[in-house]
Structure 1
Amino acid sequence: MFLNTFLVVVTNLAAGLLGNSSFRRHFHLLLSGLVTFGPALSLWVSQYSVFAKKSHFLYRVFLRSGWGWTCIFVGSFVFVLSFSVRRSLLLSLRHLSRLAVAGGLWLGFRKLFGLLENATGSCYERLSAPPEGQLANGVGHPLLLLREGESKAACLNSGMLWRGYEISEDTFLLCLCCLLLAEETAVFGPYLTLGGPSGGPLRLLFLFCVLLLALWLFLLLCLLSYFPQFPTQLLGGALGCLSWRALYQGWYRLRPCWYCPGRPGMGILTTQGKKDGENSGTHERAFN
């Protein structure tokens, strides 16, 4: 009984925050400020911290599979929420298609980032020791010998060094996932206000989504603080925010049809006990 009460209180507070119009309107600005000024924290953080190692548990388990974790929790929440209200598999699949679009966008950008780095990069071989002249001058850094005609994959497999113009995939993915989570979970607050059924499983899935959003923000802050890479992280964050704006602030605002899944909450946010055509449009416009 206590755990259920605790779950209801916590999810109500989180739903109120994520569903707040001011939060939804300014969250992307908060994220942009974090990506822009976050690297300045590297002046104060300790490089001996456990988060300064890329082998840390959170990086290995969550960051490398970030899109998979997002799909599992957000997809489960969206499906349970939409299906519990309308009992329509078609409606649930339409809402889940937003994740498919974002997944295709993520795969496309990963391919584009790889092509850009391959096109602008070069392979270098580390020399075992610097020349004698450099040792006499007190320069102890090994030289890099350019190896032409090597691809990135072949270069790295040979134990050599690849240097090219890159855009941070991790920053792009974390920004996109944070904005997607904020958009998809924001519907839960108005949904509760309208008296929608909210059992323990649905509230638990929503809580998992909120915790995942907090984890992505924390990992983004860690990457910016302990592994600052300017301007690659700034470009990755900018592309993540632009992708969110093109989808949720552009395409998804169109009327739902075969080529557009619509905004989160379309067809779900209706007053309980009334016909769909009476008040659904009013509530959905107010939310959007």
Structure 2
Amino acid sequence: MFLNTLLVVLTDLAARFLGSTVFRQHFHLFLSAVVMFGPTLSFWVSQHSVFAKRSHFLYRMFLRSGWGWTCIFVGSFVFLLSFSIRRSLSLSMRHLSRLVVAGGLWVGFCKLLDLLENATGSCYEPLLSGPEVANGQPLLVLREGESKSMCLRAGMLWRGYEVSEDVFLLCLCCLLLAEETAVFGPYLSLGGISGAPLRILFLFCVILLSLWIFLLLCLLAYFPQFPTQLLGGALGCLSWRGLYQGWYRWGPSWFCPGRPGLGLLNTKTNCSEEQNTKLNHDHSN
């Protein structure tokens, strides 16, 4: 009984916060400020911290498979919420298709960024036994005619025009989590039924969102790379704006899955029809 009460209190508070107008309208600005000013944290953090090592458990376990974790928890939450309301598999699949679209966008951008790095990069061989430069790094000798794959297989360094895929992924996942979980607050305020499984999935999504923000701060503070991280964050925010603030506002059709919560927030209610219309309008804004 105590654990169930604690679960209800925590999820109600989180749902009220994520569903608030202030959060929905300003979260992308907060994320942009984190990406822009996060590297300044490198002046205060210790490079001897456990988070200053790329081999840390959080980086290996979550960052390298960030999109998979996001799809598992967000997809489960979206499916359970939509199916428990409408009992329509086609409607649930339509809402889940937003994850498919975002996943395709993520893969496509990664391919393009890889092509860009290949086209603009060059291969360098470090002379470990040669003369050292002033900052203590080994001298790099340009190797002509090497592709990126051949260069890396030979143990050499590839330097090209890079955009941080890690920051791109984390920003996209944070904004996607914020959009997809924001409907839970309005749903509860309309008297929607919410059992323990749905609340647990929602709580996992909130924890995952907090973890992505924490890992983003760690990357910016312990591994600052300007302007590649700034470009990655900008690409993530532009992807979110193009999808959730652009395409998905056209309404559901054969080529558009629609906004999160569309067709769901006006079913479970003890309020008047006017209140339903007002809340759905507020969520769309």
> How far apart, in 1, do the equivalents of 2:91 and 2:184 lie?
17
Q: Pick one of 153, 162, 165 that aligns with 1:166.
A: 162
Q: Which residue of 2 aligns with 1:217?
A: 213
Q: For structure 2, which runs of at least 5 residues remain unmatched after alignment?
A: none
> How far apart, in 2, do the equivalents of 1:136 and 1:220 lie?
34
Q: Which residue of 2 aligns with 1:34?
A: 34
Task: Report deviation, 1:146.
Answer: 1.2
Which runs of structure 2 are paired with 1:136-151 in the superposition (5 Å)? 141-151=137-147
Q: Pick one of 178, 193, 196 that aligns with 1:197.
A: 193
| C-alpha distance after superposition, 1:175-223 (max 9, x if no partner) | 0000000000000000000011100000000000000000000000000
Q: Give RMSD over aligned pairs.
A: 2.1
1:195–1:271 Cα contact (<8 Å) kept: no
Change (3 A) 1:34 1:141: closer
Task: Report deviation, 1:271.
Answer: 4.5
Q: For structure 1, which runs of at least 5 residues remain unmatched after alignment?
A: none
Which runs of structure 2 are paired with 1:1-288 in the superposition (5 Å)? 1-130=1-130, 141-272=137-268, 281-288=277-284
How many residue pairs end up in the alignment?
A: 284
Which residue identity is paired with 2:158?
A: W
> How far apart, in 2, do the equivalents of 1:145 and 1:177 lie?
39
> How far apart, in 2, do the equivalents of 1:87 and 1:210 lie?
25
Task: Report deviation, 1:279.
Answer: 7.0
Task: Report deviation, 1:154.
Answer: 1.1
Which residue identity is paired with 1:216?
A: W
Task: Report deviation, 1:142.
Answer: 3.0
> How far apart, in 2, do the equivalents of 1:255 and 1:91 lie?
13
Change (3 A) 1:5 1:30: same
> How far apart, in 2, do the equivalents of 1:281 and 1:199 lie?
25
> How far apart, in 1, do the equivalents of 2:274 and 2:82 lie?
19
Which residue identity is paired with 1:27?
A: F
2:85–2:267 Cα contact (<8 Å) kept: no
| C-alpha distance after superposition, 1:235-274 (max 9, x if no partner) | 0000100110011011111121111111000010015368
TM-score relative to the length of structure 1: 0.94
Identity %: 74
**SS of 1:197's equivalent?**
coil
Larger radius of gyration: 1
Change (3 A) 1:271 1:158: same
Task: Report deviation, 1:283.
Answer: 3.5
| C-alpha distance after superposition, 1:120-156 (max 9, x if no partner) | 10001112422xxxx5998964322211111111111
1:175–1:237 Cα contact (<8 Å) kept: yes
> How far apart, in 2, do the equivalents of 1:38 and 1:49 lie?
17
2:188–2:194 Cα contact (<8 Å) kept: yes
Change (3 A) 1:279 1:262: farther
Which residue identity is paired with 1:158?
A: A
